Amino acid sequence: MKSKQTMFFAAFEDFEEILRDFEASIDICYYKAGLLDTELIPVYDSLFEAPHVGIAVSGDWNRLDTYLILRKSIPLEVRVIPQKSGGTKFAVDQMRNATSIELKLGGILEGRKGVIVAGRVATISDDKYSLEMYGLLSRNLKKVFKRIGAFYVGRIAEEKLKEGWRLVTNEKLPKEHDLSFTEGY
């Protein structure tokens, strides 16, 4: 399997129409992804139902909510992971869900003015459903966003960058790690 990813910076308004069009074109649902403490996996028919949509609750994109997107007709498979310290965790990821893609939106950092945290859409699968969903979402994003370096940047996020906002994958890293206009603009 060869992974694919499209990384981006966006305010919620940059991404809203792209997401609505995506949800209207494919009958999907979103599962909270990651290593979870319960087998009761949060699921949403629309990402607009999920908490914190378009708001980054962490300055590190590795700590943002990630969603596994599956067609509604395909059941989610959860891996049970026994813990050495006792107990069990539940893995929601692409390892057993090859027909899925992953999405983390990123967005304006909650409680901090002047920071937008990156998001990404990705797949590690070469399954036709996964590639179809990834292609649709990624193509629509690339049509509307501007490429700066390795990232695609929404209109509002670009305006904020011009105003001096930080566009980051991790706000704790020095500013030289931030997205800047010198990166292939």
| pLDDT tens, per residue, the chain with 185 residues | 578 999 999 999 999 999 999 999 999 999 999 999 999 999 999 999 999 898 999 999 999 999 999 999 999 999 999 999 999 999 999 999 999 999 999 999 998 889 999 999 999 999 999 999 999 999 999 999 999 999 999 999 999 999 999 999 999 999 899 998 765 44
**Hey, what are 17's tokens?**
């129409």
- Inside any domain, residue 78: yes
The predicted structure's pLDDT at residue 42: 97
- Inside any domain, residue 184: no
- Inside any domain, residue 182: no
The predicted structure's pLDDT at residue 112: 84
- Inside any domain, residue 129: yes
- Inside any domain, residue 183: no
* Global pTM value: 0.93
Asked if residues 168 and 179 have their Cβ atoms less than 8 Å apart, the reply is: yes
| Residue 64: HSE in the Cβ half-sphere, 13 Å Cα cutoff | 31
For the chain, where are the E strands, in sequence order?
A: 4-9, 28-32, 34-36, 43-44, 55-56, 67-71, 79-82, 88-92, 101-104, 107-109, 115-117, 119-123, 146-148, 151-153, 166-168
The predicted structure's pLDDT at residue 185: 45
The predicted structure's pLDDT at residue 160: 95
Q: Please give the tally of structural domains in the chain.
A: 1
What are all long-range contacts of 82-85, with beta carbons under 8 Å and residues at least 24 apart? none
Which residues span the domain enclosing 101? 4-177
- Inside any domain, residue 73: yes
Distances (CA, A) of 180 to 10, 44, 183: 14, 35, 6
CA-wise closest residue to 87 among 34, 31, 38, 42: 38
Q: Is 154 exposed, middle or buried (0-12, 13-18, 19+ CB in 10 A)?
A: buried
Helix (H) or strand (E) holding 53: none
